[in-house]
Chain A
């Protein structure tokens, strides 16, 4: 990256539009196919028990039969671990006494495998009222964030830049959600935090490009070749965008590989989001600004 690159990004934006559309439509279709997103217990309510069984040959079928015996369903998953027998037992949320449900399951496991051999690593109980509250709060949080961002970008740049930025953000969220659906990951509060972080990161990225654009759009000549000016702005900030993306991705890869099972989904969502965010600053936000200008040309502004 010694000289400013001269990629023809704006020129080929149509391909980018199509690519994005394909992914998003496929994602939404996949979601519809599965009857909605895979909601974790934070949003759907439910009970999860994470247990380690210290015995010689423990098969997941054995654990499942214990759960079935209690009458609370048959949802048992094995957790990948080289040494230990780890299992995740889940039930739906019952109207009341969910903690007693967990107690009964714990007792049944202790009876089957011996109390000394069973270690309960983690219990999560989310009752129906709490999960509804969390879901509602999430929507509000999302909308508030977008509104604030639109206000800020309009204030610092101009309205069309703000709208284009928001469009890029919505695009990124949809891409991440599509990938979550493709890989059958769960939606929980972690993913929500990841989405908000991606919004912040993608906006960060978009602003760097818009900042350059604002700097370059100072002369009438610049306005006459609007696409060209925007294209140059993108190229000028390209090296910074690539490097920051690399450092962020390095960090996220470390989190994904070494961060343990709890952080895995979070890191995955962020990685998809960072890539989408970088892509959207160029091919969505900037492209939309160019097309908007073609539709409604701007004049030279004194900023």
Chain B
């Protein structure tokens, strides 16, 4: 292969890598933080923006799908493994166990509900996947308020039933609120109650805030007790909503309705009061009918809300990693600092020990890292701290191949061979050694990468790719550089 052809190959590789990496560069270094946050807006919020802005945001989202992502340990966020709460499930069903199929179906539905909730919440690149029959893995990267995100996901406090505090609600008048809709004098609300707002869907089918309601703080029932919610018609054909509760829920609800006949029950979804039906009588069987003057569509919406707030199975958190954003930033800083220092030291060392040939090795090293980033960019890789460690280790081990070659070349020179022959001999003899050595390291990292646990996998993948690319840069590229040096620059004595 002549030199021009070889140079071309290297340039193409650089070009492709640069292309892949360009998106990442734009995302992190060209966009401001506000730009990036725009891609996290919920569907609701997007609606209030002009068409041009929305298109622009869609473009940005497309770009984001092509970058190297930051793992949870670098940008903060939540990672959760959810499994059904078998114990609680058994208790609620009175000792009855659920079949494996039922569990699997139930968890599928849980996944749907989670997806809806998280969509409404607006997190960048959320990930919800199943593992096996009964495990759900939720990843919410970049979550600025992990506690709130967790509450959304776990649904504790998402669908709530509270009693309306008629006395305090009646006292509120329009002039007590400022232009932003906030209550000026919050002391009007007693300790045991809380201020909420009634929300209703407008003509665009989006929830709009209507008026202030005061509810008693105590959560009498939450969505996890709900079993079913559907639309039906009463004896006059008017649409109404029926929902049924679990055994536990039915017992609780009977007590609640008995104690609160004549009062209104606030149905609160995600802190928004949606409906306030009146409690007419004690409801013992856990079958509840909500009737009012609503249309079929309104009834369907209510049923949807009720279903959206309830998980078909109670869940247990089996694993959770929550990382605050500040720790993430610290970690990135530390990781990059360490990588930078390591690279500089190694480059210097090679220069000092191998002199000008050291420059060749250093160029190969730089190329190695650059191509590595390019490959990771094309793979939309998620970078974690172990991933950075993998890159750092690649730097340390990348020079190994060149050391093997250079030491061989030195040996050949010492045994009296000519310049060309020594270089040739060095590369030939070293090749097999490098191949064996790298393959064995690859076996170890391959096994690690199958381990499956996110961060460790990232380490294994970065190291593996780094080593594979290393074979290319340390043999092909350096050999070319030597050839250029000798042919083009007519070097007679090797500085090695």
Decide yes or no whether B44 CB sits under 8 A from chain A: no
Which residues on A sit within 8 Å (CB–CB) of B350? Answer: 247
A248 in contact with B397 (CB, 8 Å): yes
B433 in contact with A208 (CB, 8 Å): yes
B399 in contact with A196 (CB, 8 Å): no
Which residues on A sit within 8 Å (CB–CB) of B429? Answer: 215
Decide yes or no whether A154 CB sits under 8 A from chain B: no
- Residue in A127, A149, A243, A257 whose CB lies within 8 Å of B318: A127
B346 in contact with A122 (CB, 8 Å): no
B334 in contact with A263 (CB, 8 Å): yes
B448 in contact with A196 (CB, 8 Å): yes
Decide yes or no whether B432 CB sits under 8 A from chain A: yes
A193 in contact with B460 (CB, 8 Å): yes
| Contact A99 B439, CB 8 Å, known A145-B447, A193-B459, A239-B407 | no
Decide yes or no whether B338 CB sits under 8 A from chain A: yes
Q: SS class of chain B's interface: helix, strand, loop or mixed?
A: helix
A123 in contact with B338 (CB, 8 Å): no
How far does the alpha carbon of A141 sit from the alpha carbon of B327 in the complex, in Å?
31
How far does the alpha carbon of A84 sit from the alpha carbon of B451 in the complex, in Å?
36
Decide yes or no whether A250 CB sits under 8 A from chain B: yes
Decide yes or no whether B355 CB sits under 8 A from chain A: no
A259 in contact with B320 (CB, 8 Å): no
- Residue in B320, B345, B353, B399 whose CB lies within 8 Å of A254: B345
**Mask for A120-132, Cβ within 8 A of B = 1, else 0?**
1111111101100
Decide yes or no whether A137 CB sits under 8 A from chain B: yes
Within 8 A of A (CB), among B172-208: none
Within 8 A of A (CB), among B270-323: 316-323
A250 in contact with B349 (CB, 8 Å): yes
A124 in contact with B335 (CB, 8 Å): no
A251 in contact with B448 (CB, 8 Å): no
A189 in contact with B453 (CB, 8 Å): yes
Q: Which residue of B lies closest to A260 (CB)?
A: B334
How far does the alpha carbon of A205 sit from the alpha carbon of B331 in the complex, in Å?
32
B349 in contact with A246 (CB, 8 Å): yes
How far does the alpha carbon of A201 sit from the alpha carbon of B85 in the complex, in Å?
44
Which residues on A sit within 8 Å (CB–CB) of B448? Answer: 141, 193, 196-197
How far does the alpha carbon of A211 sit from the alpha carbon of B342 in the complex, in Å?
29
- Residue in A137, A156, A204, A262 whose CB lies within 8 Å of B400: A204
Which residues on B sit within 8 Å (CB–CB) of A32? Answer: none
Decide yes or no whether A6 CB sits under 8 A from chain B: no
Which residues on B sit within 8 Å (CB–CB) of A192? Answer: 451, 456
Within 8 A of B (CB), among A229-246: 236, 239-240, 243-244, 246
A200 in contact with B445 (CB, 8 Å): yes
Decide yes or no whether A222 CB sits under 8 A from chain B: no
Decide yes or no whether A207 CB sits under 8 A from chain B: yes
- Chain B interface residue count: which class? 35 or more
Decide yes or no whether B87 CB sits under 8 A from chain A: yes
Binds A, one of B95-103, B241-249, B384-392: B384-392
- Residue in A144, A247, A255 whose CB lies within 8 Å of B338: A255
A186 → B minimal CB distance (Å): 16
- Residue in B322, B407, B441 whose CB lies within 8 Å of A203: B441
Number of residues on chain A facing chain B (CB within 8 A): 67
- Residue in B320, B331, B337 whose CB lies within 8 Å of A124: B320
| Contact A152 B440, CB 8 Å, known A125-B317, A127-B316 | yes
How far does the alpha carbon of A34 sit from the alpha carbon of B223 in the complex, in Å?
48
How far does the alpha carbon of A4 sit from the alpha carbon of B408 in the complex, in Å?
11
Which residues on B sit within 8 Å (CB–CB) of A15? Answer: none
Which residues on A sit within 8 Å (CB–CB) of B321? Answer: 122-125
A133 → B minimal CB distance (Å): 9
Which residues on A sit within 8 Å (CB–CB) of B110? Answer: none
Decide yes or no whether A134 CB sits under 8 A from chain B: yes
Which residues on B sit within 8 Å (CB–CB) of A258? Answer: 334, 337-338, 341
Q: Which residue of A lies closest to B85 (CB)?
A: A96
How far does the alpha carbon of A263 sit from the alpha carbon of B392 in the complex, in Å?
12
**Mask for B330-344, Cβ within 8 A of A = 1, else 0?**
110011011101100
| Contact A122 B81, CB 8 Å, known A144-B447, A203-B444 | no
| Contact A244 B320, CB 8 Å, known A153-B440, A200-B445 | no
A155 → B minimal CB distance (Å): 10
How far does the alpha carbon of A31 sit from the alpha carbon of B319 in the complex, in Å?
28
B443 in contact with A152 (CB, 8 Å): yes
Q: Which residue of B lies closest to A50 (CB)?
A: B327
Chain A CB within 10 Å, residue with most, of B317, B318, B399: B318
How far does the alpha carbon of A190 sit from the alpha carbon of B346 in the complex, in Å?
24
Which residues on A sit within 8 Å (CB–CB) of B436? Answer: 156, 207, 211
| Contact A129 B334, CB 8 Å, known A149-B443, A152-B443, A203-B444 | no
Contact sample, A vs B, 27 pairs, CB 8 Å cutoff: A3-B414, A99-B154, A120-B146, A120-B324, A121-B323, A121-B327, A123-B321, A125-B320, A130-B319, A138-B451, A141-B451, A145-B443, A156-B436, A192-B451, A193-B448, A204-B438, A205-B437, A211-B437, A243-B399, A244-B397, A247-B399, A250-B346, A255-B342, A258-B337, A258-B341, A259-B335, A263-B334
Q: Which residues of A contact B (CB under 8 A)?
A: 3-4, 50, 96-99, 119-127, 129-130, 134, 137-138, 141, 144-145, 148-149, 152-153, 156, 189-190, 192-193, 196-197, 199-201, 203-205, 207-208, 211, 215, 236, 239-240, 243-244, 246-252, 254-255, 257-260, 262-263, 266, 270
- Supply 12 further A-B pairs (C-beta < 8 A) apart from A204-B438, A243-B407, A247-B349: A121-B326, A141-B448, A145-B443, A149-B443, A156-B436, A196-B445, A203-B444, A207-B437, A208-B437, A251-B342, A251-B345, A259-B335
